[in-house]
Copies of this chain bind each other. A is one copy, B any other.
Amino acid sequence: MKQPLGTIRKTKPLVHHITNWVTIYDCANMTRAFGALPVMAHAPEEAADMTAIASALVLNIGTLTRELVDAMIISGSAANEKGIPVVLDAVGVGATRFRDEMAAKILDSVHVDVIKGNYSEIAKLAGENARTRGVEATAIDADPGKLAADLAVSRSCIVVMTGREDIISDGRRTFVVRNGHESMGSIVGTGCMAASVIASFAAVNADLCDAAKDALCYFGAAGELAAEKSAGPGTFKMHLYDEVFNLSDEKAQSMMNVEEL
C-alpha cells in the first residue's frame, strides 16, 4: 500500500480492543497517535455490537480471565462474520498451562488473521517445547523463520514474531523487519502497542502481510527517531508518541529496513 498512514489518518478506522489492564491505556493512546480510533469494550452484552461497528479487532490475553476469553470469542466471531481482521496478541503463552489452553480455545473458536507473539510464545503455539518467563521470551531451539511459516500454514494466517528482529510470515513468504530500537524494550507495553498498530494498518489494507510489515516498520522507525532524543525510558516514551504523531509515509518509507528471508 502506498500511503497507509495517510489512509489511516483520513479514514480514522475504529479499532476494537479486548485487552489487558496493564497496557490498555497505551494501546488506546498509540492507536490514536497513529490516527485510528480506539475503543475498549469487554462486557459480553456489548462485545459483538462494538465489533460490528469496528474495522479491526485486537485480542490480547495479557491479564486474561475465563470471562474475558469468553468476551474475546464473542467479539472474534462477530469480526469473522463481518469480515474484519482479528489480531491475537498471545501474551504469556508458554508461561502457564491456563494461557496455553485459553490461547488454543480462542484459536479453535475464532479465525485469527494475525497471530502475534514473542519468540517463545510463537514457538509454544507452534507446538515446540518452549517456556515463556512471565511475559518475557526465552531462547528457542527452532529456526524462527521456519516456525513462523509453519504456524502460518497450519493456522492459515499471518504470523508475527517480535524480538530483536521481527519475523512476519504468511506461510509462503517470510520477512524480517530490522526497524526498531532496544529502547522499545526498556518500557512496558511496546509489544502490546505493536498489536494495536498492526490492527490499525490491517483496518485499511486487505493485504494483511503487507499491513503487518508496514506497521512494524513504521512503529520501529518512530522508535528509532525517539531513541535519538532520549536519555532513558521516561523521555523515550514521551518522544515515541511525538514521533509517531509527526511521522509521514515518506519519512517512514525512507527508513524501512525489511528483507525477505
Nearest chain B residue, comparing its CB with the CB of A17: B22
CB-defined contacts of A136 to chain B, threshold 8 Å: 12, 14, 37, 39
Say whether A240 faces chain B, with CB atoms less than 8 Å apart: yes
Nearest chain B residue, comparing its CB with the CB of A32: B188
Say whether A49 faces chain B, with CB atoms less than 8 Å apart: yes
Say whether A23 faces chain B, with CB atoms less than 8 Å apart: yes
Q: Give bound CA distance, A54 to B26, whole Å.
A: 25
Is A242 a contact of B233 with CB atoms below 8 Å?
A: yes
CB-defined contacts of A97 to chain B, threshold 8 Å: 46, 49
Say whether A223 faces chain B, with CB atoms less than 8 Å apart: no
Is B234 a contact of A241 with CB atoms below 8 Å?
A: yes
Chain B proximity of A151: nearest CB distance (Å): 23
Is B134 a contact of A54 with CB atoms below 8 Å?
A: yes
CB-defined contacts of A41 to chain B, threshold 8 Å: 63, 92, 95-96
CB-defined contacts of A133 to chain B, threshold 8 Å: 14, 37, 53
Q: Give bound CA distance, A26 to B235, whole Å.
A: 15
Classify chain A: how many residues form its interface, as a range.
35 or more
Is B14 a contact of A22 with CB atoms below 8 Å?
A: no
Q: Which of B37, B92, B99, B242 is within 8 Å of A231, CB to CB?
A: B242
Say whether A29 faces chain B, with CB atoms less than 8 Å apart: yes
Chain B proximity of A14: nearest CB distance (Å): 5
Copy total for this chain: 3
Chain B proximity of A234: nearest CB distance (Å): 3
Q: Give bound CA distance, A22 to B28, whole Å.
A: 8
Is A28 a contact of B234 with CB atoms below 8 Å?
A: no
Can you list, as one digit per residue, whether each of A169-199 has a CB less than 8 Å from chain B (1) or not (0)? 0000000000000000011110000000000
CB-defined contacts of A14 to chain B, threshold 8 Å: 133-134, 136
Q: A43-B65, A92-B41, A95-B50 are in contact. Are A242 and B235 (CB under 8 A)?
A: yes
Is B245 a contact of A188 with CB atoms below 8 Å?
A: no
Say whether A16 faces chain B, with CB atoms less than 8 Å apart: yes
CB-defined contacts of A243 to chain B, threshold 8 Å: 232
Which of A's residues lie within 8 Å of B, judged by CB? 12, 14, 16, 20-26, 28-29, 32-33, 37-43, 45-46, 49-50, 53-54, 62-66, 92, 95-99, 133-136, 186-189, 231-235, 237-246
